[in-house]
Structure formats: structure tokens, C-alpha cells
Chain A
Amino acid sequence: MANNTNLPRRIIKETQRLLSEPAPGISASPSEDNMRYFNVMILGPTQSPYEGGVFKLELFLPEEYPMAAPKVRFLTKIYHPNIDKLGRICLDILKDKWSPALQIRTVLLSIQALLSAPNPDDPLSENIAKHWKTNEAEAVETAKEWTRLYASGA
């Protein structure tokens, strides 16, 4: 824990709360050697194409946090119009709508909500968004398929 000596109290408090009262379907724990790096797991929400899947993410708190947003990315492959091949997420609060009064918890809850409600009108992945808009049923099938293939068990 050598580089964690100057960890702001806010990050320590947030971490403690994340561990003691985890949000339903979400777990986040800091890495042993870097308290700003979190291993995250989000369960696919019920009644979404991702139901039954376990999605791994990484979350990093930059030096400027909480004045700057955390950096979050999916590690598990996922078929979703707002998430690209590299796992990057299109979510306003991670960009211009970030506020220092938001927290890791609120960010992860927003990502979980994004899995329940894909938004193909503000896409990150053009192809998937197009698929979603032209043939939603088929796109949902693909998403389910990918969930089975890549997000089961882990």
C-alpha cells in the first residue's frame, strides 16, 4: 500500500461504504496495491438481455477525483449500443455531466441502469445501434447470446 498514503479521506470513506453496504447486484473492491483501482462486478439486470450474466469492469479514480470523473470500462465482452469493442461506455455522467457530488456507487448504479435501458439514439457502437434500431428483437437475441457466451460464470 506504498502509494496509498495520500489517499483522500473521501476515497477511503467511499471504499468503506462500498464494502460494508454494497448496492444490490454490484460489487466493487479496491486492488491490493492501488487503492484507486477497483475490480467491479455487475450482475445483468433481470428482464434485460444481460440477465444471468456476470460482467467484470475496471474502475480507476484519477488524481483529480472527485473533481474529475472516474474512468470505467467493461472487461467482459458485451453486445450493447452504448458500449464499444474496448468496453468503453457512453454515459453522460462520466463525461460532461460529471459532478464531484457523484460517487463510485452512483456511477455503477447508472451503468447497471444502462444495461436495463440501452439507448441506441446516442450510440458508441454504430453497428450495434443500427442493429438495435432496425431489428430490436434480433439484436436482443445477439445480446443474450453474447451474455451466454462471454458472461456466464467467469
Chain B
Amino acid sequence: MDSEDDMMDANDVESVDDDFYSGEMDADCYSDDYGDYDDDVDEDDDDDSGPDYDFMAEAADDSDVVAARSQLSYTVLKEEDIRQRQEDDITKVSTVLSIPREAACILLRRYNWSVSKVHDEWFADEEAVRKSVGLLDGPVVRFSDAELVCGICFDTLPRDRIASAACGHPFCKQCWSGYISTTINDGPGCLTLKCPDPSCQAAVGQDMVNALTSSEDREKYARYLRRSYIEDNRKTKWCPAPGCEYAVDFVAGGGNFDVACLCSYSFCWNCTEEAHRPVDCGTVEKWILKNSAESENMNWILANSKPCPKCKRPIEKNQGCMHMTCTPPCKFEFCWLCLGAWSDHGERTGGFYACNRYEAAKQEGVYDEAERRREMAKNSLEKYTHYYERWASNQSSRQKALSDLHQMQTVHLEKLSDIHCTPESQLKFITEAWLQIVECRRVLKWTYAYGYYLPEHEQAKRQFFEYLQGEAESGLERLHQCAEKELQQFLTAEGPSKEFDDFRTKLAGLTSVTKNYFENLVRALENGLADVDSHAACSKGTSAKVTGICKARATKGKGNGKSGGSSRNGDD
């Protein structure tokens, strides 16, 4: 199986670079970037940081902007943390302003749970603030009678069955209960509950809710209050993963919005779609809209089987990597995405990985207007299909990789540890490979949305982009194949072997190399492909291309790196 991917000479790390770049490059170019990858692999024992995070942290070596990204810009809050923070904020305001807890709560909600805003407003004009939320200084009506008439049921009742907000308007406890309960069941508006008297603005706080309603209503109210703490606060949002009850507290800065929740879901804090770095939110929104508009046309792409390009029998895709092998006797090896022979994708044959590229059908000869229109319509659907299929395939490949990773962590690592007499702590290179695959599939997926919107006429940029994407994708396919297929033999092996050590070196090497490719890709896209000029300048021939990128990259570390923002240049 591994014969085809022999670009890795297991014991010679330097040869990795040479093979990947067809031996045309000046080896010094990459030494800075690659020289230390051995250490990365062995010493990175930061187990609990998610894949995204790791990825970013590793990318941080060459610019301040990137370095800023690597710092934790968010905190994931569990229910208990949320409760605690909210309680702390309420206590703070209540202490500083010398007002009851429930009044502090009403004020905080009014000012979107910003403690400093409450303080500012209160000390600027206490009276106006009190008025705006209905916090009265004292009662507006006073009664001295032993019995009072409830303003809702009109019954005359003894005082102990009557309750009032700060205003003093009398309502019986039973009517209060009905009134509060009705409002709570109407939704979060209950958080701004007022006295039932239509002319009165007196606020009704949580103390009254707790004193006058059922435990069920009290719990509902408390839930709305907690929700408000997250939803009305500009710094916090709920994790959008279904069923997840964690929230994320985000500190602005760094220009990167990717957030990894403790539930393992990664999402963009800005638009709450799944994490899509290095592609910007606008592109993602357009792409998702486009997908839902085209969903009927595209359903066939999500199908899990395609006819083998050689024998035409349907071949099911049940693996993550795109390298397909038809069942015997055909055994034709092909690429799931372009249906071309896999041998064309290899380095050894001199083939160049290009199935990420889209080339519009050539329009030659004379077309009449109708023909031209038909051709254009066909092309535009073809173009979308091309990008959508790759986007969707990477999506499902990532899902597969996630479940493989899980399987690895729960079952296979232990097994491997037994067979090969190696402590699990030394099998981390496998987990790391899978984490890298999961993250790279995500990035690669979004680069297809990016590619779709990259204007056709930006020839140089397209070329540069497709080159980087192709390099990254080809590296990832090798890594994925190695982690997925080549690992299998060691799961069924009899005992320890030299081959397993070779496998370790190969997989760790591929992980590191692929990581580098993706870092380049991410950096270039976040930079709006600004390095394209230095790329174009020396890319007259294919062989020069490599040197061009090499130079572009070398420059980046010093000058360009500082200006790297996450915005794609806005040419749509």
C-alpha cells in the first residue's frame, strides 16, 4: 500500500522537503520553518487544547499579529461559571450602589450586564436611571386600612393577603401569582415586569417573583435571567452546537474569531457558523446561502458512491481520504474528486496534484448568442459543482476523521500499545496526526468557498491560490492515507516490529509537513494573497514557481507579517 507514497524516507527528514518540492528548490529556504519540527512533534504534550487551538499556536512564530492570535481570546463558560459570574456582577453592583440584589439585577439587565455602564449611568444621574427602569424611592400610595381591595379580582381582603411592589398598589397574592405566571409564560419580557396598575411603572423584581409564584415559574424566570446574561451581553454568546449548554466569553482583538467550545465544536464567534478560518464571514454567508439555493441540484454530490472510472461498477466511499481503490479484480486506483487515475496525483510519476483546480470549458470557435448563453449557464453550474463537491467531500471526510479519531482514542491506542509494547504516551503522534487531519479538512473545505468567489480575472492570484491549495491538499491526502490505511497493518500485527518505528517517523513527518503547508495556505489567504506579486515575478515556468513562493515566504517573516489581517481583499 505504501509503495505509492514513498516520498517519505522514514529516517531522513531532510528528504521530505526535497521530495515535496521536486528537488528544484534551494534547501535553505525552508530550513527555518522545518528545522524544528522534530521537536514540535515530540515535545508538544499540550493534550487538552483543541485542534484549532494547537494549530493557531503553532502558527505564531513569525509575526506579532499571528502571535496575538495564539493567546486565548475567549473563555468557555459552563452553567456553573455563568451562574457564578452573574452572581458576582449582581453583588458588585448591589454593594457599590447600596441597593438590594434584585434592583441591581434589574439595572444590570437594563445596561446589558455591563457593570461599568451601570456605575457610570447611576452616578451620572441616579434619578433618571431609577425612572427608566421603575426603581422607586418610596411608595406612591399608602393605605392605613386593615382591609384592602385587590385591583384585579376586586375582592376586599385583609392586609396579609395583599402584596405590592415598591409603589404600594395593592393586589392580592393570588392575583399576583396569576399575573406573574402569565408574564413568565409569555417569554423573556417577564424580566421587565411592572406593577399591574396601568399608570404605574414600578419594577417587579426577582424577590417578588420568588415570593409569589410556583417553583416551576421561579425556575423559568431564573432561566430567562441566565439566558439574558449571555444573550444581552455583547461579550458572550451561546455555543451553537445542538444540545450544548456552554457559553463563550470573547475578548475582542486579534482579528480571528475561531472559538473551540469544550463540547469540541468549533465555531466563528462573529457569525456563529462553524469555524471557517481563514475565510471571512461574508464569504461564508454567501456560500451557505448559495448552497441552500442550489441544494436540490446538488443532492447527488452528497451521494456516497460513484462508478469506478474504469469498470463502471459503483464504488462506495467509506474512508476519509480521497484515494479510492476499486474492488478486485479491477483494483483501479483513482481520485474520488476528479475520477482521474491516482497515479497522476503522485510525485513519483511527475504528476502534479491539480484536482483542486477549476478550469472553465474553453470557448472556441464562433458561438451564436443563444449557444453562448447556454454555454455560460452550463459553465456556471459546472463551476459551482466543482467547488461544492470539494467543499462537501472535505466536510464528510472531516466527519469521518472525527469518528476515526474517537475510535483511535477509545479503542485502538490501547490495542496498539499492547501489540507494540509501547506506552500510550508514546503513541501521541497518532492522535496528533488525526487532530491535524481534522483541522486541515476544515480549513481545506473553506478554501473551496474562497476559491469559488475568487474573481476569474485575477489570474495571478488564482494561480497562486490554487498552487498553495494544491500543495496543502496533496500533503493532506498523504497524511490521511497514512493515518487511515497504513496504520491498519499494525493493528493486526503479531508483535513489535522495526516497521512500526518507521511508521512513526513517517506519520510524524507527514503531520508536521502538512501542518506547514496549511499554515502557508491560511497565512496567504488571511493576507488576501498579497504575496502574489513576488510569486508571479518568478513563476515564468513551473519549476520557478517553487522558488517564487519560497521567496515570498521568506519576506513575510520580516516585513509583511505585521500587516496580516484576516480580511480577504474585497473583490467580488
Interface residues of A (CB under 8 A from B): 8-10, 13-14, 64, 66-68, 93, 97, 99-102, 106
Contact = CB atoms under 8 A, between A and B. Distances in A.
| CB-CB nearest 6 A-B residue pairs | A101-B196, A67-B182, A101-B151, A100-B152, A99-B198, A10-B153
A66 B152 contact: yes
A93 B198 CA distance: 9
Given A99-B197, A99-B198, A101-B197, A67 B179 contact: yes
B342 to A, nearest CB: 65
B154 interface: yes
Contacts of A93: 198
Contacts of B196: 99-101
A13 B154 contact: yes
Contacts of A14: 154
Given A9-B155, A10-B154, A102 B179 contact: no
Contacts of B178: 67, 100
Contacts of A68: 182
A45 B408 CA distance: 82
Most interface-central of A64, A67, A68, A93 (chain B CB within 10 A): A67
25 contacts: A8-B153, A9-B153, A9-B154, A10-B152, A10-B153, A10-B154, A10-B155, A13-B154, A64-B182, A66-B152, A67-B179, A68-B182, A93-B198, A97-B198, A99-B198, A100-B175, A100-B178, A100-B196, A101-B151, A101-B152, A101-B196, A101-B197, A101-B198, A102-B198, A106-B198
Given A10-B155, A67-B179, A101-B152, 13 more contacts: A8-B153, A9-B153, A9-B155, A64-B182, A66-B152, A67-B178, A67-B182, A100-B152, A100-B175, A100-B179, A100-B196, A101-B169, A106-B198
Interface string B140-183: 00000000000111110000000000000101000100110010
Contacts of B153: 8-10
A121 B226 CA distance: 37
A125 to B, nearest CB: 26
Interface in B195-213: 196-198
Nearest to A68: B182
B197 to A, nearest CB: 5
A67 B181 CA distance: 10
A127 to B, nearest CB: 32
Nearest to B151: A101
A82 B152 CA distance: 28
B149 to A, nearest CB: 10
Contacts of A66: 152
B152 to A, nearest CB: 5
A38 B285 CA distance: 54
Nearest to B152: A100
Contacts of A10: 152-155
A124 B171 CA distance: 34
A10 B171 CA distance: 13
Contacts of B152: 10, 66, 100-101
A8 B153 CA distance: 8
A65 B197 CA distance: 16
Contacts of A67: 178-179, 182
Contacts of B197: 99, 101
A9 B151 CA distance: 13
Contacts of A100: 152, 175, 178-179, 196
Nearest to B185: A67
Contacts of B171: 101
A136 to B, nearest CB: 30
Contacts of B182: 64, 67-68
A13 B152 CA distance: 11
A100 B196 CA distance: 6
A80 B493 CA distance: 88
Nearest to B179: A100
Most interface-central of A9, A93, A99 (chain B CB within 10 A): A99
A8 B182 CA distance: 18
A99 to B, nearest CB: 5
B282 to A, nearest CB: 36
A75 B540 CA distance: 84
Nearest to A14: B154
A9 B155 CA distance: 8
Contacts of B154: 9-10, 13-14
A67 B178 CA distance: 7
B148 to A, nearest CB: 14
A8 B171 CA distance: 16
A67 to B, nearest CB: 4
Contacts of A101: 151-152, 169, 171, 196-198
B398 to A, nearest CB: 46
Most interface-central of A14, A97, A100 (chain B CB within 10 A): A100
A67 B197 CA distance: 13
Contacts of A9: 153-155
A142 B175 CA distance: 45
A102 B175 CA distance: 13
Most interface-central of A9, A10, A64 (chain B CB within 10 A): A10
Most interface-central of A13, A68, A97, A101 (chain B CB within 10 A): A101
A141 B519 CA distance: 75
